[in-house]
């Protein structure tokens, strides 16, 4: 009988991690438990989590209210096919989402992940125009340096050149890309800033199903914060050219930017909205695509008279319970005060990074702090340096960034930013 492999060996030899190679020597750290904002490693070390596990765990880990809600639901029904059946967690979650999202959004479709929520949004837009007698409207206009997910439809609206999906460019649908807005958050949007979108719509509206944008924050494409006025003018242009507007709120939804949804900074509503990530407080995978009655009615009244999508785990009762509980926790908390507190802590704590000759820029919005380096970081060495400093921070490319849980204390936030300053200084 062969001797069993160690946990580390099995992981290294048989498991693919996100954007990694098999048998890679990149560091992977085994987590034994997590509580609050701390991850306890198998070797006993504790790390302050600066990433909210890719922006999801807004209430921290092992939250007693979340745990109790899920334990209660698992004794009722843990999974139920959503074809022909429904359940209270899905119904109550739907009511809650309709209540907190822009008033024009009244129809909700549940899926398993953010990427699929974007796929669903794109299919909705195409099926809407097909139902309206404009089947030629199948293309999308998107921003360069944008990111919308890893599945094929979502990849087709991610940055086509510098993005992580350029390998697949020959097999992806050919969509239309315009320059990212360079007007920063808090600045006005000029005619020059909006001109690329206006020109693209003027030229391509007849064949365009929708414009798709990450509102205010371009996330994994570069952590860029742009003007709310740009969103306002984008909404006006979509109305003028009779093109749908899809807003991808997967990373920005549920308070991260200081508003419940980032589109609120601009005071606009999309025709279709995608949400995910923090939706369940990081407990289970769930996403949703919301749309207006005009879009859902058109799809219902067209051929084939149904929306053509239906995941196996759609509206899973446990996931819906987690989402409903997480939203209620958020709304009952002083979440805006926490976001502004974190924003101040990030601004103050990351400010010394500006003195480093290796740093291009430091920018902060809400509970997002970004240190943009002049050169791409060495992931292997910088990850080890952060762990040795007692924090969990996972940079990418030139970006060292923080998105901590909303419950992080001022002391832990200061320790987190101090670690970033020290590690960045040694790069």
Q: What is the pLDDT along the chain (427 residues), one digit of tens a residue?
A: 466 788 888 898 899 999 888 888 889 999 999 999 999 999 999 999 999 999 999 999 999 999 999 999 999 999 999 999 999 999 999 999 999 999 999 999 999 999 999 999 999 999 999 999 999 999 999 999 999 999 999 999 999 887 677 789 889 999 999 999 999 999 999 999 999 999 999 999 999 999 999 999 999 989 999 999 999 999 999 999 999 999 999 999 999 999 999 999 999 999 999 999 999 999 999 999 999 999 999 999 999 999 999 999 999 999 999 999 999 999 999 999 999 999 999 999 999 999 999 999 999 999 999 999 999 999 999 999 999 999 999 999 999 999 999 999 999 999 999 999 999 998 8
CATH for 7-62+335-425? 3.90.1150.10
Q: Answer yes or no: CATH 3.40.640.10 is held by domain 76-332.
A: yes
**Annotated catalytic, 277?**
yes
**Annotated catalytic, 374?**
no
The pLDDT, as a whole number, for residue 234 is 98
The pLDDT, as a whole number, for residue 240 is 98
In the block, residue with structure tokens 């609120």: 264
Contact between residue 98 and residue 181 where contact means Cβ atoms under 8 Å apart: no
Question: 352 — phi, psi (to 5°)?
Answer: -60, -20
Contact between residue 241 and residue 207 where contact means Cβ atoms under 8 Å apart: no
The pLDDT, as a whole number, for residue 26 is 85
Query: Catalytic pick from 112, 193, 248, 412?
Result: 248
The pLDDT, as a whole number, for residue 414 is 98
Distance, CA of 151 to CA of 74 (rounded, Å): 30
The pLDDT, as a whole number, for residue 163 is 66
In this chain, the answer to whether the domains covering 7-62+335-425 and 76-332 adopt an identical fold is no
Query: Catalytic pick from 277, 398, 401, 412?
Result: 277
Cβ-proximal residues to 13 (8 Å cutoff; 6+ apart), any chain: 5, 22, 23
CA distances 1 to 4, 5, 7, 13, Å, are 9, 12, 18, 19
Query: Catalytic pick from 147, 226, 283, 401?
Result: 147
- CA torsion 220-226-232-235 (nearest 10°) is -30
Locate 347 and state its tokens. 């601004």
**Annotated catalytic, 248?**
yes
Distance, CA of 174 to CA of 276 (rounded, Å): 26
Q: Where are the domains of the chain?
A: 7-62+335-425, 76-332
């Amino acid at each position: 009988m062969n001797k069993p492999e160690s946990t580390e060996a099995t992981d290294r030899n048989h498991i693919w991690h996100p954007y990694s190679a098999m048998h890679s020597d990149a560091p992977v750290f085994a987590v034994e438990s997590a509580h609050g904002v701390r991850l306890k490693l198998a070797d006993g070390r504790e790390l302050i989590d600066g990433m909210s596990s890719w922006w999801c765990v807004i209430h921290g880990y092992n939250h007693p209210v979340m745990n109790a809600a899920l334990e209660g639901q698992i004794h009722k029904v843990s999974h139920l096919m959503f074809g022909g059946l429904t359940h209270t967690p899905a119904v109550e979650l739907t009511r809650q989402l309709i209540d907190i999202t822009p008033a024009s959004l009244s129809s909700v479709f549940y899926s398993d992940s953010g990427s699929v929520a974007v796929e669903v949004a794109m299919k909705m837009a195409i099926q809407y125009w097909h139902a309206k007698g404009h089947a030629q409207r199948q293309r999308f206009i998107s921003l360069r340096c944008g990111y919308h997910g890893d599945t094929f439809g979502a990849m087709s609206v991610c940055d086509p050149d510098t993005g992580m999906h350029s390998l697949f460019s020959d097999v992806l649908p050919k969509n239309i890309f315009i320059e990212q807005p360079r007007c920063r958050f808090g600045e006005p949007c000029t005619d020059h800033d909006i001109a690329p979108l206006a020109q693209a719509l003027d030229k391509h509206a007849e064949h365009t199903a929708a414009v798709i944008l990450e509102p205010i924050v371009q996330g994994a494409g570069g952590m860029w914060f742009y003007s709310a006025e740009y969103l306002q003018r984008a909404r006006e242009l979509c109305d003028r050219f009779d093109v749908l507007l899809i807003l991808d709120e997967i990373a920005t939804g549920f308070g991260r930017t200081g508003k419940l949804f980032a589109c609120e900074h601009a005071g606009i509503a999309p025709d279709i909205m995608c949400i995910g990530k923090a939706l369940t407080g990081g407990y289970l995978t769930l996403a949703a695509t919301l749309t207006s009655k005009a879009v859902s009615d058109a799809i219902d009244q067209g051929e084939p008279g149904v929306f053509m999508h239906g995941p196996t785990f759609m509206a899973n009762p446990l996931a819906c319970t987690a989402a409903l509980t997480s939203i209620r926790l958020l709304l009952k908390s002083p979440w805006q005060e926490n976001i502004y507190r974190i924003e101040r802590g990030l601004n103050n704590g990351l400010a010394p990074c500006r003195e480093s000759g290796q740093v291009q820029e430091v920018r902060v919005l809400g509970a997002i702090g970004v240190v943009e380096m002049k050169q791409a970081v060495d992931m292997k060495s910088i990850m080890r340096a952060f762990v040795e400093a007692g924090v969990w921070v996972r940079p990418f490319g030139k970006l060292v960034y923080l998105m901590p849980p909303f419950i992080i204390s001022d002391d832990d936030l200061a320790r987190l930013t101090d670690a970033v300053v020290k590690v960045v200084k040694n790069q």
